[in-house]
Structure 1
């Protein structure tokens, strides 16, 4: 049994990651900002009291992260999944950017994953674990659409950060994965998306299981396909 620490576990991909990891017999720290409003997660945790523990944490707030870290203590973490993210409201095109939106999206999608990873790095080191950031094909320079540039830029930036992080963590025995879930039918992905959340998460967990120090720092999707930077 492995121990998972999953941010943004209250809905969408994060909730399904929690569901499938727990169903496989793993212990899950299910992390979200407002547990009182996370009704689906609360129901899931109530049905899996032995292996799902809800942890309140705002990924953008250092004090909140420190409180969660004190709660976890020195317990090893085998897999830390930085899943929490926001799309951000429009406008986001370069010539019509809402800079408050840009700042918020970068704080959640780019800065927070590194902040969280650094805070829980001792737990990862104890387990010789894996740290994952959920990215997107929209972060690739080959993606041509310009209407969601706050989100796209945040994913491009986090890809670069975690590619570098992989180099720094290799000597510590911690592997880094940069994974796209694909276009998933969630609140963020919308009803027109091509993938069910169940299919996406099943694939993500398979890629996480296959990740090792040799492939650390790579950028790929839920189906194991390498993605262009």
Structure 2
């Protein structure tokens, strides 16, 4: 299976890339800076099964350019994993919130996945395809809390996008999920987080491979073990 993965240079993205490569998949690792040393280490191990590609999800020109290049090369995809995201304006009360921070969060966390799907969905033609949007428990309306407004609201909107995509591609047997990856030890999650990103990555790739099959869902929102999340 060929997997397009955004935000692959560090944290969960890097862990997903490593897990997928270890299982024999091909990975197109979308990053803003192709010179990162951590992906280079994976490249030395897995050779041409890893393609490190410049991809800025906040730029439609960048997204469209990579999609066109892959199409010209005759490449197909078995999965798209929208992982790139930002967490900004933390601990900012609504009275102090800069709306530019909200716009930036939506640019990356929602419009980014929308751009990626817009341009790469035509390449998602391998059997048992998967389209996974990395979301967050922060996007659950049921568990809403007063804080992290840009991140939380953009992830709630991403869950809606996943639901729409599920209805759109259902007849093509493409699995669409929004996935809460857990609170992880990453630059975003911090050192106090309880979950190793590689553990989350294993669950996400299990979902992608359909080793874990979520039971009948009210909505396409699960955690990395396949357990349904409250919308």
Contact 1:91 1:98 (C-alpha < 8 Å) held by counterparts? no
Cα RMSD (Å) of the superposition? 1.9
Contact 2:89 2:150 (C-alpha < 8 Å) held by counterparts? no
Distance 1:124 1:4, change over 3 A: same
Residues 75-154 of structure 1 mapped to structure 2, 5 A cutoff: 75-90=75-90, 92-125=92-125, 127=127, 129-154=129-154
Residue 21 of structure 1 is matched in structure 2 by 20
Runs of 4+ in 1 over 6 A off after TM superposition: 211-214
1:9-41 deviation digits (Å, cap 9, x = unpaired): 0000000100010011111101101112x2211
Give distance in 2, aligned partners of 1:31 and 1:20: 16
Distance 1:62 1:215, change over 3 A: farther
1:128-166 deviation digits (Å, cap 9, x = unpaired): 511110000000012243221110001000101111111
Q: Counterpart of 1:35 in 2: which secondary structure?
A: coil
Residue 71 of structure 1 is matched in structure 2 by 69
Residue 184 of structure 1 is matched in structure 2 by 184
Contact 2:214 2:228 (C-alpha < 8 Å) held by counterparts? no
Q: Counterpart of 2:110 in 1: which secondary structure?
A: helix
Give distance in 1, aligned partners of 2:122 and 2:189: 34
Q: Counterpart of 2:152 in 1: which secondary structure?
A: helix
Structure 1 position 50, deviation (Å): 2.9
TM-score by length of 1: 0.92
Distance 1:215 1:81, change over 3 A: farther
Residue 47 of structure 2 is matched in structure 1 by 49
Contact 1:135 1:159 (C-alpha < 8 Å) held by counterparts? yes
1:42-95 deviation digits (Å, cap 9, x = unpaired): 221122113111011111111111211122114210011000000013464333
Q: Counterpart of 1:50 in 2: which secondary structure?
A: helix
Structure 1 residue ranges without an equivalent (≥5): none
Q: Counterpart of 1:49 in 2: which secondary structure?
A: helix
Structure 1 position 171, deviation (Å): 2.4
Q: Counterpart of 1:193 in 2: which secondary structure?
A: coil
The count of aligned residue pairs is 227
Residue 219 of structure 1 is matched in structure 2 by 221
Structure 1 position 169, deviation (Å): 1.1
Give distance in 1, aligned partners of 2:215 and 2:76: 22
